[in-house]
Amino acid sequence: MAHIELAPGIEDGGMATMIADIIKGNLEEKPKREKDFNALKGSIYMQAEDAEVDMTLIFNKGSLEVHNGMVGKPKISIVTDSGTLLDLANISVKFGLPYYFDATGRDVIAKLVTGKLKIKGLMSHPIKLTRFTKLMSVK
C-alpha cells in the first residue's frame, strides 16, 4: 500500500497538495501503477515559475514525502509554468509508456523543444522520469 505524506508547512489546497492527490488518486484507480511507485527511489524537484511555487517529491520505494522548496539534490528537475505542470497529468499512457503522439503529448514535446518546459535529468534518468510520468498521468 502506497504511503504518501505531506511535510509540515505545506499549505492545504496548494499545488504540492494537488500533485500528491493526483498521484494518490491514480494509484487508487490504477493499482498496476503501484509497481512504478514502489520502484521509485530518489527525489524530483518541480517548479511552477508563474505561480512562484516549488516542491520536492522524495520517493523511497513505496513511500512519497512532498516538501515545499528544494530539498537535497534531486535527480530530476522540472521547471515550467503551473498549467504545463498540470498538463503532465494529462499525458496518455499506452502499452505501459507515456504516449507523446496525441495533442497533449505533442504540446508537452513542443514546450520541451522551445524551452518553456525544462527537465534536467531527462537523459540521465529516463526510467525514473518515465515511472514518474506514469504516476502523474490520469489517463
Given a cut of 70, whether residue 103 has pLDDT beyond it is: yes
pLDDT digits (tens, 9 = 90+) for 18-69: 899 999 999 999 999 999 999 999 999 999 999 889 999 999 999 999 999 9
Q: Where are the domains of the chain?
A: 3-136
Dist CA 21 CA 25 (whole Å): 6
**The predicted structure's pLDDT at residue 85:** 86
CATH number of 3-136: 3.30.1050.10
Residue-averaged pLDDT of the chain: 91
- Which residue's C-alpha cell is 504540492? 16
8 A C-beta contact, residue 135 and residue 29: no
